[in-house]
Structure 1
Amino acid sequence: MLINFLLKGNKEAGYTLIEGIIQLSVLMVFSQIFAITVGLLHKTEDNVTNPTEIDWALFIQDVETYLDNVEILIVQREDMGIRFRKNGEEFDIELYENLIRKQKNRLGHEQMLLHVKSISVNLEGNSLKFAVEFMNGIKKEHILYVTFHSE
């Protein structure tokens, strides 16, 4: 049997070193592509599900609903909030401790935006600029358009 093997030679193809190196190279390329894809997906998920982004968007949308048909608007307490009158009622949107709250006729306390470190409000004509710094260091700003009541 050994003589038969030596005479006929090895007809079976073996697994060569070159084939192993090529397969290992392909595996390494795909593993790097997989790692980069997972990292990008994680970063995208963080941006999409960031509660600060969502809270800020909801706050701006809420404030915009109040700034239509305003009788008077005053930036108050060294730019720490606004006071405005609408439909005969007075509203305050201001920084209170570490949140922005809304009060109606200086009563109650409705939380609008949490975890706020500082706020800056500027009014130029009909443009109201809100700039907020959150406790986590994120800074956001938005310019809102105010429409005043005309009699």
Structure 2
Amino acid sequence: MYRFKWKRVGNESGFTLLEAILHLMLFVIFSHLIFLITQAYYQLTKIEDARIEMDWEGCVYDINTYLSMGGEVTVSNEGKNITIVKDDRIVVLRFNNNILWRNEKGGNETILTDVKRATFSLNQSELTLNATLENGAIKERIFIVEAAIE
């Protein structure tokens, strides 16, 4: 008698059209999600950079305000402190514990936070502030002072 061998009609090692469409849809969805996540991360880093720049410019504005009152300016403690003396008003700006502080009449106020290193240097009538921030940014600003004592 004849024996029939049943043969499978398809190739099990390949994809059907439905499987290929499903894989394509999953690829498109995941690639879109990855794109959205990277865009959100980029926006967050832009916001953080803007915040750091705003803090730096606020610090520079504050220092300009203290220097504009005139008086004698001295740099001490290996460039970590500056003292501004005008009549009976004494303002001390100092770098300590990764923070730039303002001290006046015994009270402390933060001017700039997240600072790795900061140094002041006085050369004739130019006061230079060099700062390295926690994010690695290196900042420098030169201020013109009227009366300076080196």
Q: Same fold (TM over 0.5)?
A: yes
**Correspondence for 1:71:** 71
Does the residue aligned with 2:68 lie in a helix, a strand or coil?
Answer: coil
Structure 1 position 61, deviation (Å): 1.4
Aligned to 1:80: 80
Q: 1:75 to 1:129 in 2, by over 3 A?
A: same
Q: Normalized against structure 1, the TM-score is what?
A: 0.62
Letter aligned with residue 93 of structure 1? L
1:49: how far off? 3.3
> Identical aligned pairs, as a percentage?
16
Question: Which residue, 119, 136, 139 being the options, matches 1:138?
Answer: 136
Cα distance change on mapping 1:52 and 1:116 into 2, 3 Å? farther
**Long gaps (5+) in structure 2:** 1-30
The answer to whether 1:57 aligns with 2:80 is no
CA 1:125–1:50 in 2, change beyond 3 Å: closer, same or farther?
same
Question: Structure 2: how far apart are the matches of 1:118 and 1:132?
Answer: 6
Give the match for residue 117 of structure 2.
Answer: 118
Q: What is the aligned partner in structure 2 of residue 13 from structure 1? A: none
Q: TM-score, normalised by structure 2?
A: 0.62
2:121 counterpart SS class:
strand
Mapped pair 1:94 → 2:94: yes
Q: How many residues align?
A: 132
CA distance in 1, matches of 2:51, 2:73: 27
Determine the C-alpha separation between the residues in 2 that align with 1:38 and 1:97. 35
CA contact (8 A) 2:66 2:84 kept: no
Alpha-carbon RMSD across the aligned residues, in angstroms, is 3.5
What is the CA–CA distance in structure 1 between the aligned matches of 2:50 and 2:101, rounded to whole Å? 18
Q: Distance in 2 between matches of 1:79 and 1:52?
A: 26
